[in-house]
Structure 1
Amino acid sequence: MDEGYEKGLSDNLPKIDGLMVDLYFAKNSEFFAAEILARDNYGDDAVGYVQIRRTDNTCTVKCRITPEHLLRTKPYHCSLVCDENEEKFLDVTCDD
């Protein structure tokens, strides 16, 4: 676990809804419609270890994601930074 982070659990993750996701994708040219489409239950198997850190109104979530079509390959690391008061994403990155 990275310094200053705690284990991400269902009761300490930031509130994220579909509107927040849609607004981020609409404003960010790095994402394409084909990347957004996925099986509804894909995330249940793909998301591995999650860690979270809160500073003021900003919440940073780091996790490991396994590619949908390569479930036995090494997971890649992703980060999400959001403003919990404004209910918006500040940054979403794949760190690998």
Structure 2
Amino acid sequence: MPQYAVKARITGRVQGVAFRAWTRARARSLGLTGWVRNENDNAVSALLQGEREVVRTMLKDLWSGPGAAAVANVQRIETEVDLQIDSFEIRY
């Protein structure tokens, strides 16, 4: 059961570069639950849930993203764990 949750907002060149697919694959490999989605303003948002240190690792990884990405900023805010979510998905 996840103990820690963060909502992240990633800006820069993060749409059209497979950022969502990369995020889903990385989060799943770390055992996180949550989601990732594109925003109308060309940012990407994500909910990351899991062990605190694993979530922190994922937040660091978001700064690099897939090869074609150019991340300008990763904002994050702690939030409540959503126990209804039991996997990591791309939301549309």
Give the structure-2-normalised TM-score.
Answer: 0.30
Q: Which has the larger radius of gyration?
A: 1
Give the structure-1-normalised TM-score.
Answer: 0.29
More helix by share: 2
Larger RCO, structures 1/2 (Cα 8 Å, 6+ apart): 2
